[in-house]
Amino acid sequence: MKQITFLITTFLCLNFCLSQTQKKVINGIEFEIITTSVDEERQIDFIELYRNNKKLLQHTLYESDGDCSSENIELGTYKIIDNTLIFYSYWASADRMMKNIYPYGFRKQIYYVTQKGTVSLESSQLYIEAYVDEWNVHKGMQYLNNKPKTNEEKESLKDYISKVEQMHDGHFIFGENKSVLENEVRQALAEAITENTKYWKAVYGENCKM
């Protein structure tokens, strides 16, 4: 145990990390939630869920990327309700040159904790517009809001959804379900979204998805 602690401490020091540990009881089982902030080329904040020194889950709280003309952010939060652990994620992007305005979207993941302390994913709802083939805009994205008519268009949309579901670990949703998801995620992350995008309109104008 001392050796493991030493290795973790060394890793944190080498990568300029700060971490904080909280103990949470879910369904009568004690877990550790470690919040870590990494400051290398860009800042990344995330939480990890542990039980008996075993890592069970990881969830991003904050990550940003970009250059002098663009920004991409991922924001996250979580809450514990009874025997469930709920994770929320939000993506937004902006670019002065209108070249990089993805990813943009929302996700809600619900994990159930049993009386034995096992954690399983019960549901993961996702709506996201994202690059899935390097930096090329997938042609299937144009049918997210415009119903595909031909078999080719339907296959294109199906291919896009398959790729983003795999990349972001969620079940893609449309219509009213998407609206409900968006409202819930925006409410859960309202303060963080405002803080991180409050200047975007002034800087990027309409060249943003937020």
Q: What percent of the chain has pLDDT over 90?
A: 79
Q: Which two tokens stand for residue 73?
A: 């952010």
Q: Which two tokens stand for residue 58?
A: 């990881």
Question: Could you give the CA distance from residue 55 to residue 109 in angstroms, rounded to a whole number?
Answer: 18
pLDDT digits (tens, 9 = 90+) for 147-203: 999 999 999 999 999 999 999 999 999 999 999 999 999 999 999 999 999 999 999
Q: State the average pLDDT over residues 31-44.
A: 86
Question: Could you give the CA distance from residue 31 to residue 51 in angstroms, rounded to a whole number?
Answer: 5
For position 42, what pLDDT does the model report? 72
**Which residues have a Cβ under 8 Å from the Cβ of 62 and sit 6 or more positions away?**
43, 44, 45, 73, 74, 75, 76, 192
Read off the pLDDT band of 16 (50, 70, 90). Answer: low
Q: State the average pLDDT over residues 106-111.
A: 98
Residue whose structure tokens are 């219509």: 175
Does pLDDT of 207 surpass 60?
A: yes
Give one DSSP letter per residue of 131-197, joined into a string.
Answer: --BTTBPPGGGGGSSS---SHHHHHHHHHHHHHHHHHHTSEE--HHHHHHHHHHHHHHTHHHHHHHH
Does pLDDT of 13 surpass 70?
A: no
The neighbouring-strand residues paired with 85 are 80, 111
Task: Write down the mean pLDDT value for the chain.
Answer: 90
Q: What is the DSSP letter of 99?
A: S
